[in-house]
């Protein structure tokens, strides 16, 4: 039989786990609320850019803000956004498995964001062109290195985790050009007419259009990263909730075991005392 002191020590440790998981659960919940707010703000900024862009462009093709469209690589780019560490459940594995099934090395190059995805691709023997760390901070995400890579290819598809609800996360892919254009369709047109007849553009309207395209691609990339981080925080919240519940059940079981052990030891001592009294009485 285990000693009560041992059970009490294990109960104390389990109680610390309950406290820690509760803290991480609260932190994940707070991060989720913050990212949701950032997504709404960036959507508003995108809308303002699109209202200007749609009135200026004369070429219906979206060029990602390339200065020299003819110099693009005649391959497609696949970007996979994963967690930096392994604490993201199995959703990264699902994402990488899906990416691999659609990858043709002769037609597509891969860029991976997040160390967890890079490790999984390496383990499967799948080559990728570049690896970037998942941004640590949720604000002012610098996607310029990604944008420069996107501009080198004719088309880009982003594979990422998406937030469905606090307890449900999924994987998704978007074609970056279509994603920008689809987002633009939702924007209500502005009554103000912006053209070279009413405004002066420096250095030229084409340069302004290219800048707007780059800005909107940066917003789209930032949105996918934020959505991935939102899903990751939700996944952590779910994992911490499950861990807290399991630790709470273990703590309650240990507390019950502690009381039973103490009672059993007390009963044993009483039996020994009574046995001793009988022996004394028999003498």
Q: One digit per residue, pLDDT tens: the chain, 283 residues?
A: 567 676 667 667 776 666 665 665 566 666 666 676 766 666 666 667 666 666 666 566 676 777 666 667 889 999 999 988 766 667 888 999 999 999 999 999 999 999 999 999 999 999 999 999 988 877 778 888 998 898 889 888 999 988 777 777 889 888 877 767 666 666 666 656 555 556 666 666 677 777 778 888 888 888 888 888 888 777 777 776 767 677 777 777 777 777 777 787 777 777 776 666 666 666 6
In DSSP terms, 153 is beta-bridged to 73
Q: Tell me, yes or no, whether 163 lies in a domain.
A: yes
> φ and ψ at 113, to 5 degrees?
-115, 120
For position 27, which CATH number holds?
A: 3.40.1380.10
Q: Tell me, yes or no, whether 133 lies in a domain.
A: yes
Q: Tell me, yes or no, whether 271 lies in a domain.
A: no
The span from the CA of 233 to the CA of 227, in Å, is: 10
Boundaries of domain holding 128: 22-238
**Tokens encoding 155:** 């088309």
HSE-up (13 A, CA, CB side) for residue 241 = 11
Q: Which residues contact 20 (CB under 8 A, 6 or more apart)?
A: none
């Amino acid at each position: 039989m285990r000693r009560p002191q041992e059970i009490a020590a294990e109960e104390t440790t389990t109680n610390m786990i309950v406290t820690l998981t509760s803290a991480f659960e609260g932190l994940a919940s707070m991060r989720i609320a913050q990212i949701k707010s950032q997504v709404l703000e960036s959507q508003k900024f995108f809308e303002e850019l699109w209202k200007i862009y749609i009135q200026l462009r004369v070429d219906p093709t979206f060029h990602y803000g390339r200065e020299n469209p003819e110099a693009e690589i005649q391959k497609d780019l696949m970007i996979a956004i994963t967690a930096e560490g392994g604490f993201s459940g199995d959703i990264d594995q699902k994402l990488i498995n899906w990416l691999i099934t659609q990858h043709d090395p002769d037609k597509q190059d891969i860029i991976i964001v997040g160390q967890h995805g890079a490790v999984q691709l390496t383990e499967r023997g799948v080559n990728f062109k570049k690896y970037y760390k998942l941004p640590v901070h949720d604000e002012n995400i610098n996607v310029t290195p990604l944008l420069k890579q996107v501009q080198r290819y004719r088309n880009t598809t982003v594979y990422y985790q998406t937030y469905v609800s606090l307890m449900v996360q999924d994987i998704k892919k978007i074609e970056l050009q279509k994603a920008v254009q689809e987002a633009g369709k939702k924007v209500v047109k502005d009554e103000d007419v912006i053209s070279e007849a009413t405004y002066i553009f420096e250095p030229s309207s084409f340069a302004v259009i290219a800048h707007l395209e780059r800005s909107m691609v940066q917003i789209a990339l930032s949105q996918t990263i934020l959505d991935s981080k939102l899903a990751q925080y939700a996944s952590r919240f779910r994992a911490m909730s499950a861990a807290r519940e399991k630790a709470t059940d273990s703590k309650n079981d240990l507390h019950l075991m502690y009381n039973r052990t103490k009672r059993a030891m007390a009963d044993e001592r009483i039996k020994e005392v009574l046995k001793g009294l009988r022996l004394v009485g028999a003498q």
